[in-house]
A and B are shown apart, each in its own frame.
Chain A
Amino acid sequence: MLRIPCPHCGLRDEIEFRYRGDATRARPAAGAGLPAYTAYVFDRDNPLGWHVEWWLHVAGCRRLLKVVRHTATHEIAAVLAPQDPLRLPPQEGS
């Protein structure tokens, strides 16, 4: 079970959050075309290591959070606001 340190509410159980997908993908500009949108919606990496994800704290502050999580150990390195730039820790072995 994940416990996510919400910057607004403190450390909370996973059940309070809703996973909202990959936060490494930026929504293409309007009119960017079908290939760009197809990639945005469907193409996903499956990294072993650090990943950035959207989590919405639905049972708490209802804010959207950018969570930096390790996909193998589930360690959470950082919880950021949506506008914060991506700060991915170095991937081991790469």
Chain B
Amino acid sequence: MPGPRRIGGGLLTSGGEPVNFRFDGRAFQGLAGDTLASALLACGVRVLGRSFKYHRPRGALTCGPEEPCALVDVISGDAREPNRPATTLALHEGLVAESQNRRPSLRFDLLAVNDLLGRFLPAGFYYKTFMSPAWAWERLYEPLIRRAAGLGRLAARVDEHGTPAETVHDHCDVLVVGAGAAGLSAAARLGAGGLRVLLAEADTVLGGGTLLSERWDPWREERVASLAGFATLRVLPRTTVLGAYGHGVYGLLERLAEPQRERFGGLTERLRIVRTRRVLLATGALERPVAFPGNDRPGVMLAGAALAYLRRYGVAVGERPAFFVNSDEAYESAFALHAAGVRCAALVDVRRTSPAAERARALGIPVHAGCVIARVFGRGGVRAVTVAARDGGRHVRVAADALLVSGGFTPVTALATQLGARLAWRGAIAAFVSELTGAAGATAGAARGVFGLAAAAGDGARAAALVAAQLGVTLPPDVSPAPPQDAAQGPLEALWEVPGRGKAFVDLQNDVTADDVRLARREGYEHLEHMKRYTTHGMATDQGKSGGLLGAAVLAAARDVPIEEVGQLRPRPYYEPVPFAALAGPEVRGHYRPKRRLPLHEWHESAGATFINAGLWLRPLVYGGAGWEPVLAEARAVRVGVGLTDVSSLGKIDVQGRGAAAFLDFVYANTFSTLPVGRARYGIMLREDGMLFDDGTTSRLAPEHFLITTTTANAAAVLEHLEFHREAHARHLEVAFTDVGDQWAQFALAGPRSREVASAVVTEPDLSNGAFPFMAAAAATIAGVSGRLFRISFSGELAYELAVPARQARSVWAALLAAGESCGLRPYGLDALNTLRIEKGHVTAAELNGNTSARDLGFERMLKKDGDFIGRALSERPALLGPGRLQLVGVRPVDRTRRLRNGMQLVVRAAPTTSLGYVTSCTPSVQLEGWVGLALLADGRSRLGTRVLGSSLIHGELEELEIVSPHFIDPENQRVRS
């Protein structure tokens, strides 16, 4: 049987195969069913890590997920996962784990000198000590502190294929949190009522506290077996409820068992998002420590944890343990160890008398009543303790190799307080309890202060009936077997701290001592939440699980007020550390955002396109080659011959109804009701605050039927804008919007020879300039396909946009390419499109950036004079009409060999750091010599013909620029009408 401390009989490890693992480079053997902590304790390893601030050696304080100290890094290959509690980390063959915060090794830690310097490193020390000189913070102090502090290390490694992760959405009537006596009992009752129940238990096995007592084995086994009979009940073991998020939503982390890991491609944790009508909190209570000097030494453990190691794993955590307790409940651990043949060195009870002490004495256990532990000897592990009478009398040194402590039990109220439940002080158990009421659900068992397993089981049934009644379900009669009776218990006596020299910790994870709490109060941080921030008490993954109440009690004593006045820290989600991979789910890397693909995506790929993300869209940027040359070649083809580009990503919205024209007049700043059928018009939309929102071409297909095009970026936002304003402000208008963006593939055929190519594929309408002039729109037959034809132009050349159903995109595109071959037709990408539109002075998202008005961009003549429209009133704000607005202009470097940059700031030599505006878009020109750009410049239109400087501090460039009209080519708009 592996390990000298293994005495056998463990519930989870009996009959388990030996398992080999490594910890800090050493080989060990445990048993299947072990956790890392139980296996190491069985092997006699007590130091499992170094503490956060003082680098003191630490062992395991607990036997569960509430562990504050024994956090380890799990290593697999070159992956490293930090902050896994050794107390829940399931042992498996080949497991490699490393302790944290040790430098260079667990046994010899250079930074343990911090412990000796402790009087110079009090709480808040970093607020005071590392103040000056200012430069030293970033370069010296912070790197040093970061190296010294912190918990585990993250591996700086990105797995190409990614860690498998998934998110599962769940729904139920009742989420039962915790499968102890109360939770098991409640879940079985709710299941019997036919309710959809999800029973979540953080442990690998169900039973909670009943697992610690043989007497409860039959009841537990019967209850667990009975759950299988309920078709509507699901059990999720190894699943922690991380937090409550309101409206019945809970986040759960499920750790997968081995067979499931294999099936799900190595998935280790699964995030579950549960939506439930009610929650039933049966989260139990956690044993708490007592603050006394040396209460963090390896070998100091909670009494209940020692019982759990014995019952679950057959491990005796000490050969001669001493106990330090204040309740009868804690004696169970001593009785069990005694029964297992472990001799107890001393049982120190704060109280003078109790029924349990009498039983212990009868067993021959040396009970020191009315005493406390005053001191712990042994730095690397408990060797002896000093027992002191509370009345100040005798001191006795007792040799012991473990000290098992119980300061009482604190109900777990994290989820309840997140749901807004108030805390109430319960003197009998010296703890706060919370009770969920109303529509959220109910609390049962130790979580609401009902201690004793039989009492908790009964309370679970009570809460189940309550919740079922709220959901309109009457539960059938309870036929479950009666649980074992609870033994009579003597009263607990609250004890928070044993004063003395040396560090007495209230928070072992964050290395916060009772003295730190008092220091915080002296410095004015009297409120619990202020004390928390000053000392870091209850922060990080611990969230006050083990010592939260202890810190509050020390603060209350320091303030000389009852603890009710101080309250208890409000734990935040998550209840335990969660791997980022589990939170991210599958939405990482290539799947971080969906990709929208054009109907011709595969063709673009085969033509050697470089793609760019435009919002969610993948759009061809350029075909073949890097640098500007291929872009300019594509753009030049459009200026001198003909080019073809895919503009299918433009937003397209079908607008129909008797009120369509009137509604468009309301949402556009210009007029559409006057647009004849068969014509298109450029339109601008404003936001209600008067700023430009979007632009595009809208065509009238029939008297009550329009087609809006939007910019690619704003397609979804424009549809929402239309729907919102119609329903909120124009309900009297009969109009319906339908997103047809994906229905229509749309191609721009542009260039002086575009009519030649279009005529070859368009059989109707007649394309002559008279029959189908600039801004005409019509149904068309394109390469035999029913589509739509628009004579609109973004490039500034004679151009057509051809729209066909996306399914026919491929054949129509191929027909166009074939028809254009003799004219030298060239497909062009987004970069060339941008070059062409900048030369023409057309604006896009860079100029429609949310900070520009219609007047800023030179659209003032489009603003209609009569009638209401969205944004009308505020577009006339004095601030938008006055001087100083940034206006759209064109810019060119005076030295034609110099280039422009997007974002270049416009300045004058006299004030080189005062921005007068900036370059929004720029490109090498195919029409003119050198670079051309669009810019927003303060009072730009009045500066036409002058010069400014373009400054790019990033590139160290300062260029002299001419301010010109933004219409670099064909300002009279002759070409588009040719």
Which residues of A are in contact with B by a Cβ distance under 8 Å?
A: 1-3, 13, 18, 20, 23, 27-28, 30-34, 36-38, 40-42, 54, 56, 58, 62-64, 73-74, 76, 82-83
Contact = CB atoms under 8 A, between A and B. Distances in A.
10 contacts: A1-B246, A2-B247, A20-B724, A30-B872, A36-B873, A37-B873, A38-B874, A40-B688, A64-B723, A82-B727
B247 A3 contact: yes
Interface string B719-746: 0100110011101000000000000000
A2 B720 CA distance: 20
A62 B688 contact: no
B882 interface: no
Interface string B238-249: 000000011111
A83 B729 CA distance: 10
A34 B720 contact: no
A37 B870 CA distance: 11
Given A32-B873, A56-B724, A63-B727, A41 B688 contact: yes
**Nearest 7 A-B pairs (CB), nearest first?**
A30-B868, A37-B873, A64-B727, A3-B247, A82-B727, A1-B245, A1-B249
A3 B275 contact: yes
A56 B720 contact: yes
A28 B873 CA distance: 10
Most chain A beta carbons < 10 A, residue from B246, B247, B248, B867: B247
B729 A27 contact: yes
Contacts of A56: 720, 723-724
Interface residues of B, number: 24
B868 A54 contact: no
Contacts of B872: 30
A2 B873 CA distance: 35
Interface string B853-881: 00000000000000110001110110000
Contact of A73 (B420, B720, B723, B729): B420
A52 to B, nearest CB: 12
Contacts of B731: 82-83
Contacts of B115: none
Interface in B773-798: none
A76 B689 CA distance: 29
Given A27-B728, A34-B877, A36-B873, 11 more contacts: A1-B247, A13-B249, A20-B720, A30-B868, A31-B868, A32-B873, A37-B874, A41-B688, A41-B874, A56-B724, A64-B724
A64 B731 CA distance: 11
Contacts of A41: 688-689, 874
Contact of B249 (A3, A32, A40): A3
B874 A64 contact: no
B720 A18 contact: yes
A33 B729 CA distance: 17
Contacts of A1: 245-247, 249
Nearest to B727: A64
Given A20-B724, A56-B724, A34 B874 contact: yes
Contacts of B724: 20, 54, 56, 64
B243 to A, nearest CB: 11
Most chain A beta carbons < 10 A, residue from B724, B728, B729, B868: B728
Contacts of B245: 1
A14 to B, nearest CB: 8
Interface in B705-725: 716, 720, 723-724
Contacts of B727: 63-64, 82
A42 B245 CA distance: 31
Contacts of B246: 1-2, 74
Nearest to B867: A30
Contact of A82 (B420, B716, B728, B876): B728
Interface string B671-709: 000000000000000001100000000000000000000
A42 B716 CA distance: 24
A63 to B, nearest CB: 7
A3 B439 CA distance: 14
B723 A62 contact: yes
Contacts of B723: 56, 62, 64
Given A54-B724, A56-B723, A63-B727, A3 B874 contact: no
A40 to B, nearest CB: 8
B247 A54 contact: no
Nearest to A36: B873
B720 A58 contact: yes
Nearest to B420: A73
A34 B873 contact: yes
Nearest to A73: B420
Interface in B229-288: 245-249, 275
Contacts of A37: 688, 873-874
A62 B721 CA distance: 12
A28 B778 CA distance: 39
Contacts of A62: 723
Contacts of A28: 873
A54 B688 contact: no
A2 B689 CA distance: 28
A67 to B, nearest CB: 12
Contacts of A54: 724, 728
B876 A74 contact: no
Contacts of B420: 73
Nearest to A33: B873
Contacts of B247: 1-3, 74, 76
Nearest to B737: A62
A90 B807 CA distance: 56
Contacts of A76: 247
B284 to A, nearest CB: 26
Contacts of A73: 420
B876 A34 contact: yes
A1 to B, nearest CB: 5
B436 to A, nearest CB: 14
Nearest to B724: A20
Contacts of A58: 716, 720
Contacts of B868: 30-31
Contacts of A74: 246-247
Nearest to B247: A3
Contacts of A64: 723-724, 727-728
Contacts of B874: 34, 37-38, 41
A41 B691 CA distance: 12
Nearest to A34: B873
Nearest to B870: A27
Nearest to B731: A83
Contacts of A13: 249, 275
Interface string B434-467: 0000000000000000000000000000000000
A56 B724 CA distance: 7
Nearest to A31: B868
Interface string B394-419: 00000000000000000000000000
A3 B245 CA distance: 10
Nearest to A20: B724
A83 B727 CA distance: 8
B738 to A, nearest CB: 10
B634 to A, nearest CB: 37
A74 B868 CA distance: 36
